[in-house]
Structure 1
Amino acid sequence: MSRISMSLPRPQYVAVPEAFISALAWKILHVDRLENSTDNSSEIPMVKDIAGKPIGLLFRTNGGTSRLIKMKQTLPTGIRLVEFVDALEKAGLQIEGGSDLLGEAVLNSLDGVRIEKSGGQPASPLTPSIALLQNMRGALGTKGPPDTAMIIESLFALGASTSPELLTASRLWLRAAKHRMEIDPLLNALDSAVDRTILGSQRVEPPPLPAGLPSAESVPEGDYSGTPFDWFASAWLRLTSDEWVEALPARVWVDWATTVLRLATGLGFLWECSWNEAFARAVLKSETVSWGDVRSEVRTVLPWGSSRAGTVALDVAPQLVARVYRSERLRSLIADRLDACSAAASDFGAVMDEMRDDEGFARSLTEALSSNERVGSGKNVWEAITYALKTRETSESRADYYGLLQSNGRYLKVDPGTEWIAVVASLSCVTPGASSDVGRVMADLEKMGMRPNLSDLVALLERAGMARGSADADQGVRVESAY
């Protein structure tokens, strides 16, 4: 029963932010036929080398191999670089100084975030083909990475409350990426050149989305309204609309999209953790409760303390780590009990009553709620949450400025960057160039599972140049979209 056991695929950390969009690209573009090809002339799309070892793709990498995986760089060199530059020139791109400089300038412009102490660097997924220049094996350096695209789709489906056959996160991304190329001839030329010369074969696209798709304001409220899933669905529908694609510069749009996906992942799994605790405590109560009753008991997903508090008081790591590990124990217990449940899966009350009458199950829940034991699966969930939300520590020119959490030694606190608040507050304005107020921004933050101090929020908006009016106006302070 999805409303009890949410059945979210288990995550692992995503090492580079760009991998979130690349995961959607590999899911929606049906390149598996290319990827599994035995045609050696299409080197990049292949998943296995001659010896049968899985291949991880990354835009820039030192190469290397391990017992389980072989890394392959998709940055074109040699004859492939010559072909790439030739394709750019045929598309009308020119530069003073010759074709060598053209290739170097274009490829340098594709660099994504470089993580310190890492030997690799992804490409910024500006177009569908460029998004395919890294896969999850390459981004994570592992043979069997998690299905990040499926995780994103699951999170989106909970908030969208519409048929997944009609509306998916990946299809919305592809529609937005194609619209970007329609209005930007340069990106269209880059996409075509990558398709023909680096990937070695054209991608296979799904049918276009039907006309009359629901907007963020017309999606019906479902069970998960007022949650991070609800915020994700609304924000994603807005950001992938033609209005926002046309308003934002290409790289800014990618950064904003990546930020939304990161927030959906980190806050979505934190909400799942809070839900598992709330459900377990409801089972242990004597009175009958509804789905809505349990959901109302879900605690603040991410505590956001006042900036005037000390470092220790602002540290969210101890509380969140304990919650994640506790949740994983509870999730396993609840899932096992559901499998043995005789009540109709659609009857929430009946399922709750049957679980409540099981004394052994109740004892197990009580023990798990008070346990500090760190089960193995909790580590993966905790790393997935922190890698999604934390500002990537790098001093390179492609630094990550879109994190929500900041680490200081062993301490971890909520400390969003200026670009982060610009994304969240602008999407609260609904359309580009529009305005909202602090109350609307606060409402969206509450959906996401956070409630900052009002004065702290106003200060963040002022620092981003988005607040208009006196701070004495409290929630009535006007907020203007960054674009």
Structure 2
Amino acid sequence: MKSTAPEGQKLAEFVHELGALGLANNATNEIDVAVAVLNSVAGVQAEKSKSQAASPITPAFALLQDMRGFQRTKNPPDLGGILESLFRLGLQDDSRTTAARLWLSAANKRCEIDPLLSVIDKATKAALLGGGYPERIEDIDPELVQMAPVNQESLFEGTPFSWFAKAWRKLTSDEWVEALPARVWVDWATTVLRLALGQGFLWEAAWYEALARWVLSGKPGEWSDVRAKVPEILPWKSSRSSIAVRDVAPLLSWRVHRGYKIRKILEDWLASNSAARGDFGTALAAMSADEDINVLLTLALGSAEKSAANTWEAVKYALLTRDAGGPFADYYGLLRSSGRFLTVEPGTEWMAVVASLACEGPGRSSDVATLMLSLEELGLKPEAGDLIQLLEKAGLARGSADADRGVIIESAF
């Protein structure tokens, strides 16, 4: 592992490339300009972390880091593949579009409309990447969630997966790319990805728990029947409740661990049973009739063993407010930690992202009812009064709070 932050000769080369590409400045020391450019792309840093990401403000900057270097581990999770899987689940068509391709198109568009970003991107390629820059991103063929029927529309409509696909397509469209300042666009994109990852894992865990309970009930059923039993994945209790009542840590932690156990049990059963080749209802009936898997599922639902620590940490890291203060404060978190408690307390900028993406486009408006439907798709069901207060705090609400769900929401940009 090595640092890609330029020093010494590399920094001098970066300074030269910026000047050669036309970045004029009046600074006495040209290195100061290059350092200012590098400081401007410093990303959010988690508390107590020794690493800090670079904000992928251009395609070249994105290539200055990878999961292995950032996590300081030889075998990091395939975060890109996971996000592509979540995105594919949410698509309601047979499009070959990938989340990565949409991001690259948006990032290239930013460089086209912003001369400064274009210069920075070219200088980074030449001085820091040494020409090692891919011209195209290969399509990814992600695996779908186990037990999910394929080639059918609307299987995951109304879930965090469909919210992610819609929000990502909106945000990477030309109108949003052109409307948002470069750094703001990156922060919004990161927020959407964090929500997709955290809420996606929580939905999957709740789904497996609902499936296990259905199998044990012995009732016949189809995919839609079980999906309808998936519980609220992230309870958003009233702000008037005590912090102990609003604490979601025990519920979410145990659900993630149970979901992991159940998934492994079902995967093993599917791999060794011919009934798995039938349709969903047939497989469900076969599992219900299998005494062995019934015993295993019963034990998993009542287990006190925590065996999915990495998944739980990933969920928390995606949704939790990171550095709460200082120059790299995180205003895009959904959860806040207070001692052993974990509560839903979205940051002001988090609210700006989800509320604006519930509008038809930049510069347009929506209402609280529409936003609540969008949040429900994401797996959140706040009280209207709490939501309106957050919107007012973010400066997005228009009209009297007495209008309740009819309160108008203005896009932040």
Q: TM-score, normalised by structure 2?
A: 0.94
Determine helix, strand or coil for the equivalent of 2:357: helix
Choose the corresponding residue for 2:280, options 348, 352, 372: 348
Structure 1 residues 356-385: Cα deviation after superposition (integer angstroms, max 9, x where no partner): 11011112112211222212xx10110000
Aligned residues: 400
Q: Deviations over 1:87-127 (max 9, x none)?
A: 10111112212312221221211211233333332211100
Secondary structure, aligned partner of 1:274: helix
Which residue in 1 is equivalent to 2:235? 303
Aligned to 1:153: 84
Residue range with higher mean Cα deviation, 197-206 or 437-446: 197-206
Asked if the contact 1:235/1:260 (under 8 Å) is kept, the reply is yes
Q: Deviations over 1:156-194 (max 9, x none)?
A: 000013446x20000000000000000001001100000
RMSD over aligned CA atoms reads: 1.5
Looking at structure 1, the residues matched to 128 and 186 of structure 2 have their Cα atoms a distance apart, in angstroms, of 21
2:329 is matched with 399
Q: Does 1:110 align with 2:37?
A: no
3-state SS of paired residue (1:278): helix
What's 1:232 paired with?
164
Which of 188, 191, 197 is the matching residue for 2:118?
188
Counterpart of 2:210, as a letter, is A
Any idea what SS the aligned residue of 1:73 has? coil
Partner of 1:259: 191
The equivalent of 1:138 in structure 2 is 69
Deviations 1:443-481 (A, max 9, x none): 011001110111000111111111111111111111110
> Against the structure 1 CA distance between its residues 381 and 97, is the aligned structure 2 distance closer, same or farther, given a 3 Å change threshold?
same
Q: What's the counterpart of residue 286 of structure 1?
A: 218
State the secondary structure of the residue aligned to 2:154.
Answer: coil
Per-residue CA deviation, residues 4-35 of structure 1 (Å, 9 max, x unaligned), is xxxxxxxxxxxxxxxxxxxxxxxxxxxxxxxx
Write the mapping of 1:202-217 to structure 2, written as runs, cut at 5 A. Answer: 202-206=132-136
Q: Distance in 1 between matches of 2:120 and 2:276?
A: 54
Q: Is the 8 A contact 1:425 1:481 kept in 2?
A: yes
Q: Which letter maps to 1:354?
A: A
Partner SS state of residue 393, structure 1: coil
1:416 aligned partner:
346
* Alpha carbons 1:76, 1:198 under 8 Å: kept: yes
SS of the residue 2:337 aligns to: strand
1:221-242, Cα deviation, whole Å (9 max, x unpaired): 5200000000000000000000
Question: Hey, what does 1:178 align to over in structure 2?
Answer: 108
Q: Distance in 1 between matches of 2:258 and 2:45?
A: 34
- Supply the distance in 2 between the matched residues of 1:332 and 1:190 (Cα, whole angstroms): 47
- The answer on whether the counterparts of 2:334 and 2:346 sit within 8 Å (CA) in structure 1 is yes
- Asked if the contact 1:158–1:224 (Cα under 8 Å) also holds between the matched residues in 2, the reply is yes
Report the equivalent of 1:82.
12
CA shift at 1:243, angstroms? 0.3
SS at match of 1:428: coil
Shift in Å at residue 388 of structure 1? 0.2
Counterpart Cα distance in 1 of 2:166 and 2:251? 29
1:382 aligned onto 2:307: no
Deviation at 1:394, TM superposition (A): 4.5
Instruction: Quote how far apart the aligned CAs of 1:285 are.
Output: 1.8
Q: What is the distance in 1 between the residues matched to 2:409 and 2:58? A: 31
Q: SS state of the match for residue 406, structure 1? A: strand
For structure 2, list consecutive stretches of 5 or more residues without a partner in the other structure: 140-151
Is the contact made by 1:114 and 1:396 (CA closer than 8 Å) also made in structure 2? Answer: no
Residues 202-228 of structure 1: per-residue CA shift (max 9 Å, x gap) = 41222799xxxxxxxxxx952000000
One-letter code aligned to 1:393: D
Partner of 1:275: 207
Equivalent position SS for 1:436: strand
Contact kept? 1:227, 1:447, Cα under 8 Å: yes
What is the distance in 2 between the residues matched to 1:131 and 1:207?
13
Contact 2:45/2:323 (8 A) holds in 1: no
C-alpha contact (below 8 Å) 2:55/2:61 kept by paired residues: yes
Q: Aligned partner of 1:294: which letter?
A: V
**1:448-459 alignment to 2 at 5 Å?**
448-459=378-389
Counterparts of 2:220 and 2:48, CA distance in 1: 53
Q: Distance in 2 between matches of 1:267 and 1:91?
A: 43
Q: Aligned to 1:125, which of 45, 52, 56?
A: 56
Q: Secondary structure of the equivalent of 1:236?
A: helix
Residue 479 in 1 paired to residue 409 in 2? yes
Deviations 1:248-302 (A, max 9, x none): 0000000000000000000000000000011111111232111001000000010
Alignment partner of 2:73: what SS?
Answer: coil
CA contact (8 A) 2:45 2:322 kept: no
Measured at CA, do residues 368 and 202 of structure 1 come closer, stay the same or move farther in structure 2, by a change above 3 Å? closer
The separation in 1 between residues aligned to 2:286 and 2:83, in whole angstroms, is 32
Q: Which runs of 4+ in 1 moved over 4 A?
A: none
The separation in 1 between residues aligned to 2:318 and 2:129, in whole angstroms, is 28
Unaligned runs of 5+ in 1: 1-54, 56-71, 210-219
Residue 60 of structure 1 is matched in structure 2 by none
- How far residue 313 of structure 1 moved from its aligned partner, in angstroms, is 0.3
* Counterpart secondary structure, 2:382: coil
User: What residue identity is the alignment partner of 1:320?
Assistant: L
| 2:381 maps to 1:439 | no
